[in-house]
Chain A
Amino acid sequence: MVASAALAEIDAHRAAGAALDIEQVSHAFDIDGAELPVLSEVSISVEPGEFVALLGPSGCGKSTLLRLVAGLDKPRSGTLREDEVRITRPHPSRVVVFQDPTLFPWRTVWDNVALGLEAQGILKSQRHRVDAALDLVGLSDFRTAYPHQLSGGMAQRVALARALVNDPKILILDEPLGKLDSLTRITMQAELVSLWQRKGFTTLLVTHDAEEALVLANRVIVFSDRPARVKADIRVDRPYPRHRGDPYLADLRRQILGLLGLDATW
């Protein structure tokens, strides 16, 4: 099969996951002179290859934390480390997939996926990796299409391929499936798990869906309201593929929704 050949291709320069240490990180924004605290002494230690889901009320600071991990912003205090090296700027070993696919509309699907390799100046010798990444997300037939010709799910798959082609050590996902219809979502959740299992990168996934967190992650971290602090850190020791009806997961889900203040409805 094409897809398995593609996987072998990517496995050839497989990058195992990196460890991530978030230590006493606090952050705030200035809004009209007033200080808005967003993260309050957040400490999380992620092992290489772990799949960590971050859950929390909307606006609590999850995306802000991901931007700090990506190196797009600097925290007010505290440190972040990738494999013991302090994170000070973006690096292609930590790639973000945002909620909006943010494909470059002026580039074809192939050129969008090639973006990272091109930016790093290694595209000439590595073109096959782009083809492999496109095979992996099943969009080889659309390599010459422009983003406006894609459906939402396809665009998000291209964004995923654009991230994966760089063989990241840490894959950072900010509600990447949030806007998809439920069917596409379930399919892509399964694809995500199988990718993660094969490639072994460390994954940080922000989601607002407790069920999604439980189906995908080893570990679910629940944040408080803004400013976000870690409220609970839950291990999910269940084999994959997981079933949504699993009573163990259902129990965890009830716990998590309770932590988010939704126990009355459930």
Chain B
Amino acid sequence: MSTYSLSDGLASGAPRLSRAPLLGSWVRESGIGILASVAWIAFGLCCLWWEDVGDWSRTHSLGIAAFVIAAVALFGTVGADYLGPAGRALRQRAPWLVVLGVFLTLWEVATAKFAWLPLPFFPPPQSIIEVYTDDLPKLLDSVFASVKLQLGGYLIGATVGFLTGVSIGWSRAVGYWVHPVLRFIGPLPATAWLPIAFFTFPSSWSASTFLIALATGFPVTVLTWSGVASVSNAYYDVARTLGAKPSFLVLKVAIPAALPHVFVGLFMGLGSSFAVLVVAEMIGVKAGLGWYLQWAQGWAAYANMYAALIVMSLLCSGAITLLFSIRDRLLVWQKGTVKW
């Protein structure tokens, strides 16, 4: 084929030019990996070289871990061609590894070694590691409690919101009764209900579930409703001439057409329900990451607070990622969707 002969010709001309560009591309592709490994070695050396100004038990392990990461970064990027997708992924993330290594080095030096930052408020990396190793059971309990509360409230809120939204969008009678209630109560921040909810509900857990469901339900309802209401009549006309009954129009036309809107509502609901979750845990529920934060503050255990914050942000980000991947699966038919 003609394309083959064309590329053959290019290949035979290549060797004469190759040396300099090859070196250049090698430096470009592996140089950042080497830089990353230098940054992490620096971090490791900082850990081990100077004495800590305080009493932290994980400094030594952290230094060793930094050297291990440096080695992985070095061999992983230089040998990326032999490592397949993992190597490529590592190479692609190498610039971030550099930044992270530099940041950790500065953090280490500024806190544990010279205490440039005031100490109890700015704990060094090793003290946060220490929380993860020494306070793990309590942290895991808190994670479990938060996830359980959040998941229950969110699922209830999303389901009720979706059903309400579809009903208002579809039925004038339902709209007549529900719309004013929605307008009156919906915009109120769910946290405003906290004091009432905690003494009217039988348990603080059920009260928080209700509040999280409320925070989720409002945006989901409004966006589902607007999604259903904005479905083009042309779709209904087509379906009706093809013999569709009302149930088909709702389930197979209105809902799928409204789904992109519904997901916007689900994302907004997720965001506002996180806020309610944390506040509810801080104020009423005696478990969960919000409570852990509160507890750590009470003991001035700042490292525990940072550790819990990191876990919390991983969880929230994980939840968003999960929702994005569900959306991508359900809305494959849409073009140009945002990648999270």
Name the distance in Å between B239's Cβ and chain A's nearest Cβ.
6
Contact of A119 with B by CB under 8 A: yes
A118 touches B252 (CB 8 A): yes
A92 touches B256 (CB 8 A): no
Main SS class of interface, B:
helix
**Interface size bucket, A side?**
20 to 34
Q: From the candidates B235, B240, B243, name the one contacting A166 in the complex (CB within 8 A).
A: B243
Question: Cα distance A67–B252 when bound, in Å?
Answer: 22
Which residue of chain B is the closest to A89 with respect to CB atoms?
Answer: B240
Q: Interface digits, B235-256 against A, CB 8 Å rule (1 contact, 0 not)? A: 1011111111100100011001
Q: From the candidates A70, A100, A108, A119, name the one contacting B239 in the complex (CB within 8 A).
A: A119
Q: Interface digits, B324-340 against A, CB 8 Å rule (1 contact, 0 not)? A: 00000001111100000
Name the distance in Å between B228's Cβ and chain A's nearest Cβ.
14
Q: From the candidates A92, A105, A107, A147, name the one contacting B242 in the complex (CB within 8 A).
A: A92
Question: Cα distance A71–B240 when bound, in Å?
Answer: 9
Question: Cα distance A146–B331 when bound, in Å?
Answer: 11
Q: From the candidates A70, A95, A102, name the one contacting B235 in the complex (CB within 8 A).
A: A102
Question: Cα distance A178–B241 when bound, in Å?
Answer: 21
A102 touches B241 (CB 8 A): no
Q: Which residues of A contact B248 (CB under 8 A)?
A: 118-119
B241 touches A96 (CB 8 A): yes
Question: Cα distance A107–B256 when bound, in Å?
Answer: 9
Question: Cα distance A90–B238 when bound, in Å?
Answer: 10
A107 touches B333 (CB 8 A): yes
A92 touches B257 (CB 8 A): no
Main SS class of interface, A:
loop
- Taking A94-B241, A119-B248, A162-B238 as known contacts, 19 extra A-B pairs with beta carbons closer than 8 A to each other, sorted by chain A number, are A71-B241, A72-B237, A72-B241, A90-B241, A90-B243, A91-B243, A92-B241, A98-B237, A98-B238, A102-B234, A104-B235, A104-B238, A105-B333, A106-B331, A107-B333, A108-B333, A118-B252, A119-B242, A166-B243
Which residue of chain B is the closest to A67 with respect to CB atoms?
Answer: B237
Q: Which residues of B contact A91 (CB under 8 A)?
A: 241, 243
B256 touches A106 (CB 8 A): yes
Contact of A198 with B by CB under 8 A: no
Contact of B259 with A by CB under 8 A: yes
**Interface size bucket, B side?**
20 to 34
Q: Which residues of A contact B243 (CB under 8 A)?
A: 90-92, 116, 119-120, 166
25 A-B pairs within 8 Å (CB atoms) are namely A72-B240, A90-B241, A90-B243, A92-B243, A95-B241, A95-B242, A96-B237, A96-B241, A98-B234, A98-B238, A100-B234, A102-B234, A106-B257, A106-B259, A106-B331, A115-B238, A115-B239, A116-B243, A118-B252, A119-B245, A119-B248, A119-B252, A147-B333, A162-B238, A162-B242
Q: Interface digits, A76-101 against B, CB 8 Å rule (1 contact, 0 not)? A: 00000000000000111011101010
Q: Which residues of B contact A108 (CB under 8 A)?
A: 333
Contact of A148 with B by CB under 8 A: yes
Which residue of chain B is the closest to A71 with respect to CB atoms?
Answer: B241
Give the top 9 A-B pairs by smallest Cβ distance, nearest first.
A116-B242, A92-B243, A119-B244, A120-B243, A90-B240, A106-B256, A90-B241, A146-B333, A102-B234
Which residue of chain A is the closest to B238 with respect to CB atoms?
Answer: A102
Q: Which residues of A contact B332 (CB under 8 A)?
A: 146
Name the distance in Å between B98's Cβ and chain A's nearest Cβ.
40
Question: Cα distance A104–B245 when bound, in Å?
Answer: 17
Which residue of chain B is the closest to A122 with respect to CB atoms?
Answer: B243
